[in-house]
């Protein structure tokens, strides 16, 4: 989609930028006229030619505006960022998210906490919370995990990355958590499970679907889930199981959880759940398969909720 030409980076005309950034062309012109951001090059016939970096600026601007900042002020902020790091313009044919993930991985490889913090903070302006997680944090973490397994990164580096990206993700979640809740979903890691990132990723999806999310965190026993169902009456339950379990043990574990949630629809995801689709199905749960379109999970869940409403009405 983007010409991967070498040398100077690809150039876009105004409509293309409008499509890429989601900002209408007239508005782009207005922003340029009023705030001077961005200031694309011109052809001899004075057509605007935006570079990848210009598109990036527009995206940041839009992100800030979406956050509630006034365009004029957002422009001021972006201008300062742009001046502070004049080398942002990477000539590689990558999009902003890939660049951000790359900067994060790079900081981890150099074991540089300060650079990592900066890279993470910069990423947080690159779109909606879910986008940032799905396109920056999650890929970065996956890559870091791979590098660690391959022996290219130390445990300490992996720990540091988890800590910083975990914090950033929690921050994202806090920022988007709605104030006027509609439906509630309780999220938790199964007993013995201490990896929390997948849970937060799921949380961001649920928030986007209009749920309020209550997170019980790592290593949550079945009783705790039962308690929360009794007190909060959530519309759904989400479980995360990253670690692999032997079939028999997993069946035992899951049966306890299925009992605990009662008739509340529940979803489970993560590596540890992936191969147990039949079991999960039998226990009345929904498996969120890795790599699967999240919307499919949502559909399955909505169906359960509808069924449940009908039952309730019938009873």
Partner DNA sequence: AGACTTTATCCAAAGGATGAACATACCCTG
Partner DNA sequence: CAGGGTATGTTCATCCTTTGGATAAAGTCT
Q: Which residues bind DNA (CB under 7 A)?
A: 13-16, 24-27, 29-31, 34, 43-48, 65, 70-73
Residues binding a second copy (CB under 8 A): 5-8, 10-13, 15-16, 19-20, 49, 64, 68-70, 73, 76-77, 80-81, 84, 111, 113-114, 117, 121-122, 154-157, 159-160, 162-163, 166-167, 170-171, 174, 177, 181, 188, 194, 212, 214-221, 223-228, 231-232
Sheet containing 41-42: give its strands across: 11-12, 48-51, 41-42
Nearest CB to a second copy, comparing residues 160 and 241: 160
CA end-to-end distance (rounded Å), the chain: 55
* Residues in Cβ contact with 45 at an 8 Å cutoff, skipping those fewer than 6 apart: none
CB of 1 to a second copy, least distance (A): 15
Stated length of the chain:
315
CB of 94 to DNA, least distance (A): 18
DSSP β-bridge partners for residue 42: 48
Q: Which does 253 bind (CB under 5 to 8 A by kind): DNA, a second copy, none?
A: none
CB atoms within 10 A of CB 282: 13
CB of 78 to DNA, least distance (A): 13
Rounded to an integer, what distance in angstroms lies between the CA atom of residue 89 and that of residue 4?
Answer: 15
CB of 175 to DNA, least distance (A): 19
Nearest CB to a second copy, comparing residues 87 and 231: 231
Nearest CB to DNA, comparing residues 15 and 303: 15
**Is the separation of the CB atoms in 272 and 247 below 8 Å?**
no
- What is the secondary structure of 3-28 as a DSSP string? ---SSSPPEE-HHHHHHHHS--HHHH
- Return the SS3 of 301: helix
Rounded to an integer, what distance in angstroms lies between the CA atom of residue 93 and that of residue 9?
Answer: 8
Q: Which does 277 bind (CB under 5 to 8 A by kind): a second copy, DNA, none?
A: none
CB of 156 to DNA, least distance (A): 35
Nearest CB to DNA, comparing residues 24 and 217: 24
Which class for 21: exposed (0-12), middle (13-18), buried (19 or more C-beta within 10 A)? buried
| Backbone φ, ψ for residue 239 (5° rounding) | -120, 150
Nearest CB to DNA, comparing residues 96 and 141: 96
Q: Which does 29 bind (CB under 5 to 8 A by kind): DNA, a second copy, none?
A: DNA
Q: Which does 121 bind (CB under 5 to 8 A by kind): a second copy, DNA, none?
A: a second copy
Nearest CB to DNA, comparing residues 44 and 248: 44
CB of 246 to a second copy, least distance (A): 22
CB of 121 to DNA, least distance (A): 18
Nearest CB to DNA, comparing residues 42 and 247: 42
Q: Which does 167 bind (CB under 5 to 8 A by kind): a second copy, DNA, none?
A: a second copy
- Return the SS3 of 315: coil
Beta strand pairing call for 11-12 and 48-51: antiparallel
Residue with the two structure tokens 């004029």: 72
């Amino acid at each position: 989609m983007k010409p991967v030409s070498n040398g100077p980076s690809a150039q876009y005309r105004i409509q293309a930028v409008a499509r890429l950034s989601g900002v209408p062309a007239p508005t782009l012109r207005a922003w340029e006229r009023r705030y001077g951001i961005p200031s694309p090059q011109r052809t001899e016939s004075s057509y605007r030619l935006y570079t990848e970096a210009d598109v990036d600026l527009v995206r940041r601007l839009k992100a800030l505006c979406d956050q509630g900042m006034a365009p004029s002020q957002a422009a001021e902020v972006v201008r300062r960022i742009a001046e502070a790091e004049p080398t942002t313009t990477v000539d590689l044919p990558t999009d902003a998210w890939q660049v951000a993930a790359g900067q994060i991985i790079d900081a981890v490889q150099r074991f540089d906490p300060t650079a990592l913090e900066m890279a993470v903070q910069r990423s947080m302006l690159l779109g909606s919370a879910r986008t940032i997680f799905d396109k920056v944090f999650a890929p970065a973490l996956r890559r870091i995990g791979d590098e660690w397994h391959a022996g290219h990164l130390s445990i300490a580096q992996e720990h540091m990355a988890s800590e910083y990206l975990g914090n950033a993700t929690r921050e994202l979640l806090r920022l988007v958590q709605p104030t006027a809740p509609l439906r509630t979903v309780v999220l938790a890691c199964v007993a013995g499970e201490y990896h929390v990132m997948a849970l937060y990723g799921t949380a961001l999806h649920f928030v986007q679907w209009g749920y309020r999310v209550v997170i019980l965190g790592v290593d949550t026993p079945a009783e705790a889930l039962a308690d929360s169902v009794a007190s909060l009456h959530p519309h759904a339950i989400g479980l995360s199981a990253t670690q692999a379990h032997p079939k028999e043990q997993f069946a035992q574990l899951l049966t306890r959880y299925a009992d605990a949630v009662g008739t509340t629809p529940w979803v489970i995801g993560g590596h540890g759940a992936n191969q147990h689709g039949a079991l999960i199905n039998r226990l009345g749960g929904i498996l969120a398969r890795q790599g699967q379109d999240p919307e499919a999970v949502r559909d399955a869940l909505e169906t359960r909720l509808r069924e449940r409403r009908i039952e309730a009405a019938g009873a």
